[in-house]
Structure 1
Amino acid sequence: MSGLRLPRTLRLDPSDTFVFADAAEPGEWAVTGSFLFLDADPDTLTGKARAAFRSGFVGVRSLGFSTLVVVSEASAAERAAAVEDLARHILERFGAPDLAAARGAAEEEIAVSASLCHLPVGSVVALHRTAEGGEIRENFRTLHQRAPGADPLHARAFHFIETDEDAAEEEADLVGLLRDAAPGR
């Protein structure tokens, strides 16, 4: 690889599909997407639009939102494709005067996103966006996996142990338990 890094949308669970009106597909190249809110009054946003403003990265192919991105290696061809995807949206949906202007804006957005990727590949990044004094502010944080045993209060609720024993397994008769618990018994 070329050493080029870009953020990709990351979906750890289906929550983005509930939180945002349009969720990005997992694995899309991403930008911060604050340009989507330049004409909005953040104080009037509610529900899913407010969630998108506060914490949504934007997938360049779908313009859907993602809560998290992951730092990923990208080839020059993948970067160029991301620029073209975003430029097409900027031209068609946001009224750029021509494709050259749209490409310029897309290049800037991709460059800003690439600047977030000075972290190791695989790092997960979250965004918190606010409006202060009429300006949009973006704050980023990196989420780190805890080392095993580092925080015993936040250990896994379940873990599986493999055994070689041939002992009989416990069985439960759930239907019988329900029948016995029925009223009048």
Structure 2
Amino acid sequence: MKLARAIHFDDSDTRVFHSPARTGEWCISGGFEFSNWSEGDLAGKAKQAFTNGWMGVETFGRASFVAVTQIEANERDAIAAALARHFVDIYGAPSVEAAMGVAMEEISQMIALCEDQEFNTLLTVTRELTEAGVKESYRMIEPQDAGIEQFAIHGSLDDDEPHHH
């Protein structure tokens, strides 16, 4: 089973999102947050979260990039419970039990998105408001030979290395 974790190549997420996800936390699309949004809501950092943000299921912050990796069933169940709790706390779901189905559905959609991707594939999301509601599209970026592992472990490049632009 595969899911995706937030990954950061620089500190831009801390600037563009009101609440950035933590490096390494499990992520889902989190498009449900925007289901009742209209053009008027799409401003500043909120617009950035709407347009390009994956949702971390620990902090409920947003990330621009996620990397596909292995997830175990017990981990999936734990994040489903956390998400269900979020639905109770933030969206007024009657109980964690009642919200569990929706939480599992959100996570299952993300698992399905990740399942056919190679490990360390990067995913980005783009959302737009249409007449029919929120439309999501995804982009896959092939695993780079230049060691995504190092990003995943250390989270950032050492400053004394030359930067290639």
TM-score if structure 2 supplies the norm length? 0.84
Looking at structure 1, the residues matched to 60 and 128 of structure 2 have their Cα atoms a distance apart, in angstroms, of: 20
Corresponding residue to 1:123 among 121, 126, 131: 121
Change beyond 3 A, Cα 1:92–1:142: same
Q: Which moves more between the two structures, 95-104 or 65-74?
A: 95-104
Deviation at 1:38, TM superposition (A): 1.1
Question: What are the Cα deviations for residues 50-78 of structure 1, in whole angstroms up to 9, with x where unaligned?
Answer: 00000000001111000011101011111
Identify the residue that residue 92 of structure 2 maps to in structure 1: 95
Cα distance, 1:40 vs structure 2: 1.5
The alignment-based identity, stated in percent, is 35
Deviations 1:85-114 (CA, angstroms, capped at 9, x unpaired): 111101111111222221111101000110
Instruction: Encode CA deviations 1:7-41: one digit per residue, 9 max, x unaligned.
Output: 11111111000000000001111110110011221
Runs of 5+ in structure 2 lacking a partner?
A: 147-161
Distance in 1 between the 2:143 and 2:78 partners?
A: 31
Q: Give the TM-score of the pair, scaled to structure 1.
A: 0.75
CA RMSD of aligned residues (A): 1.9
Higher share in helix: 2
Q: Which has the larger radius of gyration?
A: 1
Q: Which runs of 4+ in 1 moved over 4 A?
A: 145-148
Equivalences, count: 148
- Matched to 2:6, the amino acid is T
Residue in structure 2 matched with residue 31 of structure 1 by the alignment: 28
Number of the residue aligned with 2:136: 138
Where do 5+ consecutive residues of structure 1 fail to align? 149-157, 160-185
The answer to which structure, 1 or 2, has the higher relative contact order (CA under 8 A, 6+ apart) is 2
